[in-house]
Amino acid sequence: MSVTLPLPDRTISEVADLLASREASARELTDACLARIERDAERLNTFLATDADAARAAADGADAALAHGDLAGRPLLGIPYALKDIFVTRALDDGGRPIDGGLPTTAGSRILEGYRSPYASDAEDRLREAGAILLGKTNCDEFAMGSSNENSAYGPVRNPWDESTVPGGSSGGSSAAVASGQAYFALGTDTGGSIRQPAALTGTVGLKPTYGRVSRYGMVAFASSLDQAGPLTRSVRDAALVLGVLAGHDPRDSTSVEEPVPDYAAALTGDVKGLRLGVPREYFVAGMEPGVETAVRAAIDVLRQLGAQVVDVSLPSTDRGLATYYIIAPAEASANLARYDGVRYGASAGEDELWANYTRTRGEGFGPEVKRRIMLGTYALSAGYYEAYYVKAQQVRTLIKAEFDEVLATVDAIVAPTSPNVAFPIGAKVDDPLAMYLNDACTLPVNIAGLPGISVPCGLSDGKPVGLQVIGRAFDEATVLRVADAYERAAGFADLRPPTATA
């Protein structure tokens, strides 16, 4: 256990024990994170909004509850966290007036600059009820579209492991904040890898639950059939803890499923003996960095030594994932982003005529990647191309899902790389959209099939973190967490922290 690490760099599980034994207070944890935010947030560009006073007030409330031993039903009581700025946070009262401590929501876009939500996301509601303390909203790629956080209208985030490189994306502010001790956990959203890939690039744990496991209510929509919310943490156990709070049916999201929520922590037995793990050969592709392949193969060996039965499997349509994704996701995005019309909320160009106001508001408000995807999606859905592109992609989606189902009928989980590469220099791929899209080649098939996946640190290549991905059956997050936790305990990378994490 990392008892020698500075307070803000420890895991939730460790500091929760300190809170329970009264060796640390929620106020101390909050102040420790705020000190890191004060020191690093501007340089790393991790946060788009914070409210230190509101966080301290919430911490004092948590300490009062802890003093009364009042922990029932609040597994995250006193734990400071951050929300990706794609989750709305309530910032207006019923009279439409700003609430004290209410945080704005931008989705990383100019078009939502200054937007104050009249309602809270399900994630914000559940985490407040669980006792967690909101520190602020983290930077992200605009509307969660990107793999490097360079598409944020508010500037790129820097990776605390090497500040000349990207932290991954689109949940790059969340990954960098958790890696650098600015929050004990952060929420991200994952449409094609946006939780797992930034987790891999920053040496953190990132969990994308099954589609339908967690409510999407109050998540700014990107691609509604692919989007899922999940945690970025410093241990698999912490990811299990946060998932337990987030998971469950929400009547406000009709795609959230009424499946029972198991005790995820109970699944963390440390034992993988006899589990069958499939290694899909198509995930070790040309163009993968040798250092990544070495680290991932070594991780799979650790699981074998722990008694798992490792078998080769094939997911033949893997290389169709990228094309399928880049039709379906932009198509859904082009429909979802139609709502930014300069009328009800958000920026407005102030034109006198409606049509001109639509086109100029959107032309000025959206950044280059968002425009590209709106164009791509509109094209794929337009008359004459709908069958050839959109329907075709939906058919290939059926094939990709069927291949996963077939493999997962013979193995308990799939193990693979999370990202084909480690963190790359800021600016290296901004002029080549296709090269950028390839970052998610190993993660986006999982969204296409709607399955749960986790990235867990599996060492360093050239001093930069590498992630092992574990993919499971629909609604079997328990097995995914069990495999990742057993690996984490055995591998000895649980205390990996970037150079910034030294107080």
| Catalytic positions, written as ranges | 84, 170, 194
Residue whose token pair is 């291949």: 403
* Structure token digits, residue 204: 């953190």
* SS3 per-residue string spanning 372-439: HHHHHHHHHHCCCCHHHHHHHHHHHHHHHHHHHHHHHCCCCEEEEECCCCCCCECCCCCCCHHHHHHH
Q: Residue 110 interacts with other proteins (CB under 8 A)? A: no
Nearer to other proteins, 268 or 449 (CB): 449
Q: Is 257 in the site for other proteins (CB under 8 A)?
A: yes
Residue number with CB closer to other proteins (309 or 357):
357
Q: How far apart are CA 111 and CA 115, in angstroms?
A: 9
User: Applying CB under 8 A, does 94 fall inside the site for other proteins?
Assistant: yes
Q: Pick the binder of other proteins from 26, 37, 201, 347 (CB under 8 A).
A: 347
| Closest listed residue to residue 165, CA positions, set 440, 437, 464, 460 | 464
Q: Is 406 in the site for other proteins (CB under 8 A)?
A: no
Closest approach, Cβ 89 to other proteins, in A, equals 14
Within 8 A by CB and 6+ apart from 424, the residues are 148, 165, 166
CB-CB contact of 25 with 133 (8 Å): no
Tell me the closest approach of the beta carbon of residue 305 to other proteins, in angstroms. 34
Question: Could you say whether residue 96 binds other proteins (CB under 8 A)?
Answer: yes
3-state secondary structure of 161: coil
Q: Is residue 386 at the binding interface for other proteins, with CB under 8 A as the rule?
A: no
One residue of 187, 295, 449, 483 binding other proteins per CB under 8 A: 449
Binders of other proteins among residues 274 to 333 (CB under 8 A) are 317, 320, 322-324, 326-327
- What interhelical angle do 392-408 and 321-336 show, nearest 10? 120
- As a whole number of angstroms, the distance between CA 29 and CA 470 comes to 31
User: Does 393 sit near other proteins (CB under 8 A)?
Assistant: yes
Neighbouring C-beta atoms of residue 391, cutoff 10 Å: 13
List binders of other proteins among 416-435 (CB under 8 A): 433-434
Smallest gap, in angstroms, from Cβ of residue 348 to other proteins?
Answer: 4
Say whether 207 sits in a helix, a strand or coil. Answer: strand
If one asks whether residue 357 binds other proteins (CB under 8 A), the answer comes out as yes
From 45-53, 73-81, 249-257, 484-492, span contacting other proteins (CB under 8 A): 249-257
Stretch that binds other proteins, among 56-64, 234-242, 267-275, 371-379 (CB under 8 A): 371-379
* Among the listed residues 18, 119, 298, 428, the single contact to other proteins using CB under 8 A: 119
Least separation, in Å, of the C-beta of 6 and other proteins? 40
CA atoms within 13 Å, Cβ hemisphere of 82: 36
Residue 192 CB, shortest distance to other proteins, in Å, is 14
Of 362, 464, 482, 497, the one binding other proteins by CB under 8 A: 362
* Antiparallel, parallel or unpaired: β 413-417 and 47-50: unpaired
For residue 229, what is the enclosing H or E element?
strand 228-233
Tell me the two tokens of residue 436: 């950028």
Please pick, from the candidates 399, 407, 428, 430, the single residue that binds other proteins as defined by CB under 8 A: 399
| Segment interacting with other proteins, rule: CB under 8 A, options 195-203, 392-400, 421-429, 485-493 | 392-400
Please select the residue that binds other proteins; options are 93, 100, 301, 406, rule is CB under 8 A.
93
Kindly indicate which of the ranges 2-10, 178-186, 251-259, 285-293 contains the residues binding other proteins, using the contact rule CB under 8 A. 251-259
CB-facing half-sphere around the CA of 213: CA atoms within 13 A = 30
Closest distance of CB 463 from other proteins, Å: 32
- The structure tokens 């979802």 sit at 336
Q: How many residues bind other proteins (CB under 8 A)?
A: 76
Neighbours of 499 (CB within 10 A): 11
Q: Which of 2, 348, 386, 460 binds other proteins (CB under 8 A)?
A: 348
Which string of x and - marks every residue 450-479 that binds other proteins (by CB under 8 A)? x-----------------------x-----
Do residues 131 and 430 lie in contact, with contact meaning Cβ atoms separated by under 8 Å? no
Q: Is 351 in the site for other proteins (CB under 8 A)?
A: yes
Indicate which single residue of 1, 64, 391, 503 sits in contact with other proteins (rule: CB under 8 A).
391
3-class DSSP assignment, residue 135: strand
Interface of this chain with other proteins, residues 206 to 225, rule: CB under 8 A: 211-212, 225
137 beta partners: 49, 83
Q: Return the residue of 269, 359, 410, 502 that touches other proteins, per CB under 8 A.
A: 359
Q: Contacts with other proteins in 126-165 (CB under 8 A)?
A: none
CB 142 within 8 A of CB 369: yes
Q: Does 100 bind other proteins (CB under 8 A)?
A: no
**Is 113 a binder of other proteins (CB under 8 A)?**
no
- Candidate list 47, 184, 358, 493; residue touching other proteins; CB under 8 A: 358
Distance of closest approach, residue 45 Cβ to other proteins, in angstroms: 25
Closest CA relative to residue 226, chosen from 406, 400, 403, 385 = 400
* Residue number with CB closer to other proteins (191 or 334): 334
HSE at residue 478, side-chain half, CA atoms within 13 A, is 12
- Is residue 392 involved in binding other proteins (CB under 8 A)? yes
- Report the C-alpha gap between 452 and 265 in whole angstroms: 16
Angle at 13 between CA 260 and CA 1, to 5 degrees: 130
Nearest to residue 452, comparing CAs of 323, 267, 290, 304?
Answer: 267
The residue (of 174 and 317) whose beta carbon lies closer to other proteins is 317
